[in-house]
Amino acid sequence: MARHAYTDHLKNVTLFSELTNKELDRVAQIATQLDYAPGRVLMREGESAHEMFVVIEGTLDVTKDGEHIADLGPGSFAGEMALLTHSHRSATVSAKTDVSVLHIDGRGFTAVLRDVPQIAVKMLPVVAARVVASSDNHEH
């Protein structure tokens, strides 16, 4: 997939939907397409966060404390909260099917946010909504 295709894909992802084309291009510059087979663990609950993923094709399985909590399909993303807060992973994410993802490295993303801080401001409402939804789901 060419870099301009990364930009086209990112603009359809809720987390990045408010970014301008120039801001999307900046994020796309640090993205890499990776493919994984079913069962491959992309991130493990409790581990340090060093990247996030955006699903292009296939399905990711999300578990917390060993229990299935979500399936993530094309246009979904995982790992953004721990990456943005420099905290540990709150869930384990693995490939449920053959999956193709955009990998966004933490160091590269930190550099993007340092250079273009308004990206973080535009992402904040989506991240905050996920925190609230996650909190609501775990209080019952």
Secondary structure of 64-80 in HEC code, one letter for each residue: ECCEEEEEECCCCEECH
Question: Does an H or E element contain 116, and which?
Answer: none
pLDDT band at 117, cuts 50/70/90? very high
- Return the closest-CA partner of residue 98 out of 33, 36, 34: 36
Query: What pLDDT, on a 0 to 100 scale, did the predictor assign at position 103?
Result: 96
- Is the pLDDT confidence value at 52 over 50? yes
- The pTM assigned to this predicted structure is 0.88
Question: What does the pLDDT look like over 85-115, one tens digit per residue?
Answer: 778 888 999 999 999 999 999 899 999 999 9
Q: 9: which 2 tokens?
A: 């894909």
